[in-house]
Amino acid sequence: MNDERYVAAIEISSSKIIASVGKMHSDGRLDIIATEQERGIESVRYGIIQNLEETSMRVTRVLERLQLKPSVAPKIISKVFVGLSGRSLRSIRTDVELVLPDDTEITEEIIVRLRQQALATAIDSSLEVVDAIPRVYFVGKSETRSPKGAVGNYIKAVFDLIVCRPELRRNLTRTLVDKIGIEVAGFVVTALSTAQVILTSEEKRLGCMLVDMGAETTTVSIYKDGGLRYFATLPMGGRNLTRDLTSLSLLEEQAEEIKITSGNAIARETPTTLNVNGISMAEVGNLISARSEEIVANIIEQLKYAGLKDKDLPAGIICIGGGTKLNGMLDLLGRQIDSPVRRGMLPTYIHIDEARPATAEMVEVASVLYSGAADTKEECLEMPGAEDLPVTGEGNEEEADDDEIQRVRPHRQKKSGGLWSKFQDRISEIFSNPAEDDSDIIE
């Protein structure tokens, strides 16, 4: 019995597209063996794809480079887990219940019925439900998180419905399935998957907040008593600071560079008189600190919406995402709450073979990859069949029987569309030019 599975995942955000291939072991370990990314995705705003054609071209390039890596080739990526993130994602509480015959033992079937009832809850027609996370159960008057096996004539469950605008999943499907022809193994809510791998069970039981500050959105997930208590996405992130700096007559690329090299979320106690290339560093500092304070204030405000206080988060705030790498950002958060603040790290059971990109940039896609692999039995890579391989040998294709030529690779093109076709063309070039230096195709 094969105890390894190859899985693939992709995260499409406002700042980059990043895809990874991993090897999932039967003992729960995940080795990420290859990663590719492409930055600067103007066709995605606040996590929602706006331009299907542009995004599909960029995704295709990322997947083609990934398939040509020595650790992946000659296997073919036939399906991917897809991360769901965007400003419309949030949680809505719903209560569901079932009245049962006397002395009924709570079974898995009853728990599934409760979840299905929660998923069918009527909500705003502009939103769709993507998941239902159980918060707590009540069997009779007894509260429990593990109702299976309990006995009673009544069960109630509190669920957090994870909802988003339909365009979020629909545009991802239209890009990946319709335009590229690659199958979606499953949609994974990025914020939930990162919490699954980064937060410990002790932190969730004590109470903690996970903050993922991206380019245009910041997700806030609050856990208490072992389960999700609150989840929201704020329409602000690191790019807000960059765009503020463009008011100083800077291009966005220049503003981003200044933010990274000279920015600090905490205002200087003594204003500087330094000017760099005609740009006042005092103005830079004022713009960055003002916007940082606004973002942090909105993050802390989510505690109130969750019905909690500082003291309810003894495990503190755990931060991930590019926006939290700004100098002083974690310290600024720490000044606003009487709880510890730390940076989130991938656990040791997720190992990254490659040095590039940086581990901190891979937290989200690695989490999506792990959650997809752990929650399903999907195999995302497969070996190409004989009919898919390029024609080789001394024979002349022009002399081959017409029926034989038609059998070379018919079904794969239908299954995987443009991505497989382009990949085959590249493989054909390699076989037809064996003396060619392969340094340009192995990155």
Element (H, E) at 81: strand 79-84
Q: Is the dihedral of CA 44, 237, 263, 352 positive or negative?
A: negative
Could you give the CA distance from residue 231 to residue 169 in angstroms, rounded to a whole number? 18
pLDDT at 226: 93
Angle at 314 between CA 321 and CA 375, to 5 degrees: 55
**Residue 14 and residue 323: Cα distance in Å, rounded?**
13
Q: Where are the beta strands (DSSP E) in 325-429?
A: 341-343, 350-352, 381-382
pLDDT digits (tens, 9 = 90+) for 223-282: 999 999 999 999 999 999 999 999 999 999 999 999 999 999 999 888 888 888 889 999
Q: CA 316 to CA 301: how far, in whole Å?
A: 15
CA-angle at 19, arms to 214 and 215, nearest 5°: 10
**Beta pairing class for 350-352 and 341-343:** unpaired
Query: Rounded to whole angstroms, how far apart are CA atoms 228 and 225?
Result: 8
Per-residue pLDDT at 405: 34
Per-residue confidence (pLDDT) for residue 282, from 0 to 100: 94
Q: What is the spatial distance between Cα 274 and Cα 286, in angstroms, rounded to a whole number?
A: 13
- Report the candidate in 9, 78, 15 with the shortest Cα–Cα distance to residue 323: 15
Give the chain's residues under pLDDT 70.
1-2, 355, 386-443
Rounded Cα gap, residues 143 and 205, in angstroms: 15
Contacts of residue 261, defined as CB under 8 A and 6 or more positions apart, other chains included, come to: none
- Structure-token pair, residue 338: 């009487």
Amino acid (1-letter code) at residue 154: Y
Give pLDDT, residue 155.
97
- pLDDT for the residue numbered 388: 55
CA 361 from chain center: how many Å? 11
What are the start and end residues of each CATH 3.30.1490.110 domain in the chain?
Answer: 90-164
Q: How many CA atoms lie within 13 A of 60 on its CB side?
A: 20
Q: What is the pLDDT of residue 250?
A: 94
Q: How far apart are the first and last CA of the chain?
A: 33
Amino acid at 206: L
C-beta separation of 338 from 169 below 8 A: no
pLDDT in tens, 163-208: 999 999 999 999 999 999 999 999 999 999 999 999 999 999 999 9
- Return the CATH number of the domain spanning residue range 90-164: 3.30.1490.110
